[in-house]
Structure 1
Amino acid sequence: MNSFLKYLNQMVPLSEAVQEAISEITIRRVIPGNTLFFQNGDVCKEFHFLENGLARVFYHKDGKEVTAWFASEGQIVSAIDSLFTGQPSFYNIQMTEDSVIWSLQFNKIEPVFQKYPVVERLGRLLITQNYLLLDERMKLFAFCSAEERYEKLLIQIPDITQRVKLGHIASYLGISQEHLSRIRAGLRHGHA
């Protein structure tokens, strides 16, 4: 059983037939690091489960790249704005390191939903889970300081500073790279 099916089975136990149906519409990809995997302006037709590696989702604003979020092992990443609407996306997805992903072809899921209602339930659970992640990110910016946002990021992805550029982390936190350096220095010395 591949890692994507294991992930799904943790959410809802799936029969062999359901696992086979999902496998038939899923593609395993090995992507080299620093690859722009999806580009803004394109229409997203898949969502991706990261078996290993790290993805950075970003957009452009005022001529600069702004990191919207990171996804690491065991998480889903996609240009959701495009996947559900069929419209071109504002987002880019970059694999920041060598990655293995499982890509589910969204345009082939409807017959699986119809044949196996448990898969539709699974889809709702995935959407709910990702909505809650988005809600958590909004709360981080509404209620937490930059230091608290950084600490929460380190809890989610403890080795992120070794895996992505500090400028991308600063952009995600909504601060300058200099401010991030001060936060990191404060944490090393036991105060933020």
Structure 2
Amino acid sequence: MNYFIDYLNQIVPLPEKSASAINEITVRRKLSLHTSLLRNGDVCREFHFIEKGIARVFYYKDGKEVTAWFAAENQIVSAIDSLFTGQPSLYNIEILEDSTVWSLQYNKIEPVFQGHPIVERLGRLLITKNYLLLDERMKLFAFCTAEERYERLLLQIPDILQRVKLGQIASYLGISQEHLSRIRGRK
């Protein structure tokens, strides 16, 4: 099969027919640094599973880029609100290093859900997993210091300092690059 199917099988073991149905609607893509998967104002029509690489979701506020989150290996990246509502997205999604992703168009998944209830269950579990990541992100800002947010990021993506610009990490943490340098200096 493929890397994406292997990952899905770890969540819910899929019958061969269901795995084949998913395989038929996914496309493995090799993407270069700075490839844009979505631009602000566009409607998001697909989600992407990252096999290798890292992506950044960001938006503009007062003319500055603000990093909302990072997605690395074995994570899904998309603008879920736009994907589900069909409304233009406020987000941009950018590939930050040469990457391999599995892309799936949202309009092709519904027939697979209808024909394969286990895939619908899998979809629910993936949405739940991503919702919990979002909830954790909100809790980080509500209850954690900048240093604690930094430590949590390093637990999630240990090599992020080698893969992402410090300014983007600082933006994600909600601090200045100078503050990030001070935190790093204390470690």
The answer to whether TM tops 0.5 is yes
The correspondence of residues 1-192 of structure 1 with structure 2, limited to 5 A, is 1-187=1-187
Shift in Å, 1:37:
2.1
Equivalent-residue separation in structure 1 for 2:86 and 2:37 (angstroms) = 18
Question: How much has 1:48 moved relative to structure 2?
Answer: 0.6
State TM-score, norm by structure 1: 0.96
Q: What code does the residue aligned with 2:32 have?
A: P
Which amino acid is the alignment partner of residue 134 of structure 2?
A: L
- Count of equivalent residues: 187
Unmatched runs of 5 consecutive residues or more in structure 2: none
Counterpart of 1:39, as a letter, is R
Aligned-partner Cα distance in 2 for 1:36–1:112: 27
Could you tell me how far apart the structure 2 residues matched to 1:106 and 1:27 are? 13
- Structure 2 distance, partners of 1:3, 1:146, is 35
**Same amino acid, percent of matched pairs:** 75
* Residue type at the aligned position of 1:62: D
1:190 corresponds in structure 2 to: none
CA distance in 2, matches of 1:110, 1:175: 41
The structural deviation recorded for 1:36 is 2.0
Q: CA deviation at 1:122?
A: 0.5
1:3 positional shift: 1.1
Runs of 4+ that moved beyond 6 A: none
Give 1:45 shift: 0.8
Task: Tell me by how many angstroms 1:140 deviates.
Answer: 0.3
RMSD: 0.6
